[in-house]
């Protein structure tokens, strides 16, 4: 598998895109320096229509950790569907990837960390080990981690500092340690 391009700092990527991406796992990039990186970062920018579309595509690529060809494949798949609104279909396909579901459930601090959990065989879907991060998770699937993962440092830090605020209706927001490790079901969209 090829790497995701040249390895840039998550802070520089977020500053270049002028927004914080939760999938990169580093909040606070825009607090200290709210302008793009580089020598001409403080200069005024005028964006064309092409530049704004390219920026939105790059946000999607960096947030989900996709390469260009993977994103094109997802777009083709979304456009070939029966839905007339292919953008919502595309977002639905990207949000149901296993690495993204693990990140959204709060098991990992970033999508890259969730991807590593999946690749190392720490994730069970419906009781079976699944080590393919791009696998599509169906609604109603039961997702758990292995027992040793629950005692790991990465899981503890992800639980202590979640990327997203827990919704009050979330059944796991105020539960004990043992109840927290119960299997989670993926809600239907």
Other CB atoms within a 10 A radius of the CB of residue 3 amount to: 7
Q: Can you give the residue range of the structural domain that contains 39?
A: 7-64
Domain identity same for 126 and 91: no
Backbone φ and ψ for 123, nearest 5 degrees, come out as -115, 140
Query: What b/e readout covers 55-73, taking b as 16+ CB neighbours within 10 angstroms?
Result: eeeebbbbbbbbeeeebee
Query: Taking the CA of residue 117 as centre, how many other CA atoms within 13 Å lie in the half-sphere pointing to its CB?
Result: 32
The pLDDT tens digits for 20-69 are 776 666 666 666 667 676 666 666 677 788 988 888 888 888 888 888 99
Domain end (from 24, 47, 64): 64
Predicted TM-score (pTM) of the model is 0.73
Burial class (CB in 10 A: 0-12, 13-18, 19+), 127: exposed
d(CA 28, CA 100): 21
Last residue of a domain, one of 76, 95, 114: 95
pLDDT of residue 72 exceeding 90: yes
Same domain flag for 41 and 110:
no
Decide: 93 and 74 in contact? Cβ < 8 Å. yes
Give the E-state strand segments of 1-148 in sequence order: 123-125, 128-129, 142-145
**Same-domain pairing of 59 and 22:** yes
Residues 173 and 142 occupy one common structural domain? yes
Count the domains in the chain: 3
Question: Where is pLDDT greater, at 159 or 5?
Answer: 159
128 and 53 together in one domain: no
Q: Over 60: is that where the pLDDT of 166 sits? A: no
């Amino acid at each position: 598998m090829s790497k995701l391009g040249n390895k840039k700092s998550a802070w520089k990527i977020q500053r270049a895109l002028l927004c914080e991406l939760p999938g990169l796992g580093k909040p606070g990039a825009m607090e200290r320096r709210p302008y793009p990186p580089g020598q001409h970062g403080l200069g005024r920018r005028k964006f064309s229509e092409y530049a704004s579309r390219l920026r939105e595509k790059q946000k999607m690529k960096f947030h989900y950790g996709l390469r260009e060809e993977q994103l094109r494949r997802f777009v083709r798949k979304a456009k070939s569907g029966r839905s007339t609104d292919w953008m919502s279909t595309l977002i639905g396909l990207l949000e149901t990837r296993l690495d993204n579901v693990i990140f959204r459930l709060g098991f990992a601090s970033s999508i890259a960390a969730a991807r590593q959990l999946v690749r190392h065989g720490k994730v069970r879907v419906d009781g079976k080990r699944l080590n393919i991060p791009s696998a599509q998770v169906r609604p109603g699937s039961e997702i758990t981690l292995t027992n040793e993962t629950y005692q790991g440092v990465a899981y503890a830090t992800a639980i202590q500092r979640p990327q997203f605020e827990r919704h009050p209706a979330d059944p796991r927001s105020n539960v004990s340690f043992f109840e927290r490790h119960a299997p989670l079901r993926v809600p239907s969209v």
